[in-house]
Amino acid sequence: MFHVINLGCKVNRVEADALTADLLAAGAQIAAADTATVIIVNTCTVTAEADTKARKAIRQAARQPQSPWVIATGCGVNLDPVVWEALGKRIIAEPNKDVVVQRALELLSGQTLSDTEAPPIHSTEFRARRGVKVQDGCDNHCSYCIVPAARGAARSVPLQQIRETAQALEAEGVREIVLTGINLGRFRDVDKGLRSLLTELLQATRSARFRLSSLEPPDCSRELLELIAASDGRLCAHLHLPLQSGSVEVLEAMERHYDLAAYEALVHEARATVPGIALTTDVMVGFPGETDAQHKKSLAFCRKMAFSRMHVFRYSLRPGTTAALRGDQIDPTVKAQRACEMRALAQELMRLDLKARVGTLERVLIERSGRGMSESYHQVRVDAQLPPGSLITMQFERLRDTLLEGIETP
């Protein structure tokens, strides 16, 4: 009996789902944490808070009634396995995700990984949409980020393997496939980049739609936008373009690979090329040296960009990064206040985007009974009789709280 706990980004989610599928295929049984004899914790280390959450999750797992073995893996373990094993006697730190399944099977019953095919991806153990990791690692080395040290250099999954995975998922009934990567825009297979990958996936499948998880602004080209516009909804009109800061000075100190003028130009081009596109983003507050004036500039820039959703987080000092060496760290109470202000703006902008979608048509993926996700990445209230995993077209007629409602159309 095993249980998987996932922390962190969409890439981690995809990797955790793959671990679950492989264990089920080998005959292992999934269970709640309190009845499992092996618990796998997939850690995240993007912030100090993420490390704290991971340690807490591992300690809680080790205290479950069955006194389980706990296998810690993921980005946090990659940086320093010894630190994680020191959390308890029955904790195993395994940096190599490729052997986690084998380690778990050995602990469960001494069995080895069989050649049994994986279970249907759309089974109840998995979400209505399915993520596919196409790229890993990052070469950007932003001043605040430890991910390149945890994940390594940028590298890509072979295009043929991705194509075969997408075809298999569609054959099993999966209607939305999310392409994920630590730096997705740097996908490369010989001379083929992300646009070529998307073109081949559209040709290799019949009706599944594809969503890009996150894309660094410099990697979003006019050609990519034109492909989305011409895809008839098979490429979701939604891009997550991390901003991090709307202050010129802070953005430069972060050592990001674009400036605000280029970012704004990209937003305008995206909206002109793909009418109705949803643009979401990440924004950090409290970066070392950030002044009140710079924070206000960041708020103003985000308002100007009119994002449909914003993931707001506070800067967290990460040893091993250049930003951690700065002596002008921001007081935690100031960071908390700035985060509150940015999140309030995020809520305001989300509601404006939701209101703007009343009266429009969108394809909606049914995720569970009574709930769906629109192409624009908003929650939708749907007929509870609609089966999870189906993809329908809806005309939005009203907004209740933060849920779009409407009717299904042919």
| 122 pLDDT above the threshold of 60 | no
pLDDT of residue 114: 46
Model confidence at 204, pLDDT cuts 50, 70, 90, reads very high
Least confident of 120-129, 212-221, 388-397: 120-129
pLDDT band at 121 (very low <50, low <70, confident <90, very high): very low
CATH number, domain 2-109? 3.40.50.12160
pTM for the whole structure? 0.88
The candidate with the shortest Cα–Cα distance to 4, out of 86, 87, 108, 89, is 108
CATH 3.40.50.12160 domain span(s) along the chain: 2-109
pLDDT value of position 98: 86
Domain with CATH 2.40.50 in the chain: 361-409
- Model confidence over 278-333: pLDDT tens digits? 999 999 999 999 999 999 999 999 999 999 999 999 999 988 999 999 999 999 99
pLDDT tens track for 370-389:
999 999 999 999 999 999 99
- Give the DSSP H/E element, type plus range, for residue 179: strand 176-181
For 329-359, letters b (16+ CB in 10 Å) and e give ebeeeebeebbeebbebbeebbeebbeebee
Query: Which CATH fold would you assign to the domain 361-409?
Result: OB fold (Dihydrolipoamide Acetyltransferase, E2P) (2.40.50)
Percentage of residues in the chain having pLDDT higher than 90: 85
CA distances from 407 to 37, 102, 215, 380 (A): 46, 48, 32, 11
Kindly tell me if the per-residue pLDDT of 127 is higher than 70: no
